[in-house]
Amino acid sequence: MPDPIYQFEVKRLFPLEIFGVDATFTNSALFMVVGVILSFGLLMYASRGRSLVPSRMQSIAESLYEFVAGMVRDSMGEQGMKFFPLIFTFFMFILTLNMLGMVPGFFTVTSQIWVTAALALLVFFIVIVVGFAKNGLGFLKLFVPDGVPIYVLPLVSLIEVISFFSRPLSHSLRLFANMLAGHITLKVFAGFIIMLLGAGGAASALAPLPLLAVLGITALEFLVAFLQAYVFTMLTCMYLNDALHPGH
Amino acid sequence: MTEPVTTGTEVPVSSTANKVFPPLDPTTLAPQLVWLSMTFVALYFLLKKIAIPRIGGVIEERQNRIQRDIDAAEKLKDEVDGAMKAYEKSLADARGNATAIARATNEKLTAEVDRERAAVETATAKKLADAEIRITATKQKALESVGEIASEIAGPVIKQLTGKDVSADEVKRALNPGAGE
């Protein structure tokens, strides 16, 4: 049976070192570059007509734009729109890499914990910087919810602090685990088909069953690929909203 | 975390690959983060400087165009409403004028008829009065003639009866005792 973990192995394509840091160009880096070119290229290609009545491709680009813009406006209000380029970048980056990972044989960058952790920590630090820059020490009101009786306030504040600092953990693990689990499941079920066929006889007759399962899971994984990009972006919006309006 | 592997990269990589879960392999942390930061920042600036203004511009232009069209439609609607109001007003005015003219004409005609009737009535009354005067005069004259005839006949009648010749003046005096004095 093929190793279901093998697909997550980062392969060193050619070594590189920048200022003493290991910057080897890996398959992960290759797909990041491809993802950037693909997402930017598709958006540019789709909007090349700039027509008032959009073509099909232009509608897709505009839908993505409006989808994220709506998300930003709904969660942060109009003043959140200055974060729109950042949020849109998060969404396009994760969505493209998730979708690229769905192509058989392609590497899924978002199934690497270091990548998702870095993205989540980026959000975490942006929230802290923006929070203090916007509100000064008023940002700490985030940990002191309104209308809580004084005798439970220490407990509530402690919970708020813990939940705040566990955000990057859940934020990164959610994306990482979803992509990882989905791809492992796909690989395992696909492996069953080969095993059953290899076994011969009555077992081979059962081979279509995992094939159907793989079909269903593939569809599900496309949904998950989109959904996790959406969830990551949505959470980023909500966290940034805390930075803009800490007083709950 | 990542000790730079100086020589013989194949050996440690292949040996760790069997032990470490690949997505959590710490030796891939540095190269992935380097490329992640480069690609992410690149995508950020590409989207922010080029793609977002382009797509956003088209959407904004469309919204402006729609807004302009809606405004124009509203302006036209206002104009139509104004024209409709003006039309209704002139219609009402015309109707009012027509009523006024009809009433005025009616009054004028009635007055004229009244006047004419009055004139005719006056004329008729005058003619009636004249006729009455004439009748009275004629009657008077007739009555006077009766006296004359009587006096003329009286002479011969007396002559026949009495054989006396009576002058006309005597007869007249006898018949009309007041007239002689």
Please give the share of chain A, as a percent, with pLDDT higher than 70.
98
Contacts of A144 (CB under 8 A, 6+ apart): A153, A157, A160
Residue A186 pLDDT > 60 = yes
Is A4 touching B (CB cutoff 8 A)?
Answer: no
- Identify the closest residue of chain A to B50 by CA–CA distance: A44
Q: pLDDT digit of tens for each residue in chain B (181 aa)?
A: 444 444 444 444 444 445 677 778 788 887 888 889 999 999 999 989 988 888 888 888 888 999 999 999 999 999 999 999 999 999 999 999 999 999 999 999 999 999 999 999 999 999 999 999 999 999 998 888 887 787 778 778 888 888 777 777 777 777 776 654 4
φ, ψ of residue A107 in degrees (nearest 5): -90, 140
Residue A66 pLDDT > 80 = yes
Q: Is the ipTM reported for this complex over the cut 0.85?
A: yes
Answer yes or no: pTM beyond 0.80. no
Name beta bridge partners: A12: A26
Q: Which of B36, B40, B6, B35 is nearest to A20 (CA)?
A: B6
Confidence grade of residue A166 (pLDDT, cut at 50, 70, 90)? very high
- Write the DSSP string, B113-142: HHHHHHHHHHHHHHHHHHHHHHHHHHHHHH
DSSP state of A24: -
- How far apart are the C-alpha atoms of A143 and A162, rounded to whole Å? 10
Instruction: Supply the pLDDT for residue A21.
Output: 77
Q: Structural domain boundaries of chain A?
A: 6-244
Give one word for B163, left, alpha or beta, with left for phi > 0 and alpha for psi -120 to 50: left
DSSP state of B51: I
Q: In the A/B pair of chains, how many CB contacts fall below 8 A?
A: 137
Side-chain-side CA neighbours of residue A22 (13 Å): 17
Q: Is residue B124 part of a domain?
A: yes
Interface touch B4/A20, C-beta < 8 Å:
yes
Which chain B residues are Cβ-neighbours of A101 within 8 angstroms?
A: none
- List, in sequence order, every beta strand (DSSP E) within chain A: 12-14, 17-18, 21-22, 25-26
- How far apart are the C-alpha atoms of A142 and A128, rounded to whole Å? 11
Instruction: Supply the pLDDT for residue B173.
Output: 76
Q: Is residue B160 part of a domain?
A: yes
Q: Could you tell me the residue range of the domain that residue B95 belongs to?
A: 31-175
Instruction: Supply the pLDDT for residue B178.
Output: 63
| Chain A residues 108-167 with a CB less than 8 Å from chain B | 111-115, 118-119, 122
Poorest-pLDDT segment among A16-25, A157-166, A210-219, B93-102? A16-25
- Mean local confidence (pLDDT), A125-151: 85
Report how many domains make up chain B. 1
CA separation (Å) from B177 to A83, B39, B133, B143, B172? 147, 162, 28, 17, 8
Q: Is residue B181 part of a domain?
A: no
- Write the DSSP string, A167-216: HHHHHHHHHHHHHHHHHHHHHHHHHHHHHHHHH-THHHHTTHHHHHHHHH
Q: Which of A85, A69, A65 is nearest to A77 (CA)?
A: A69
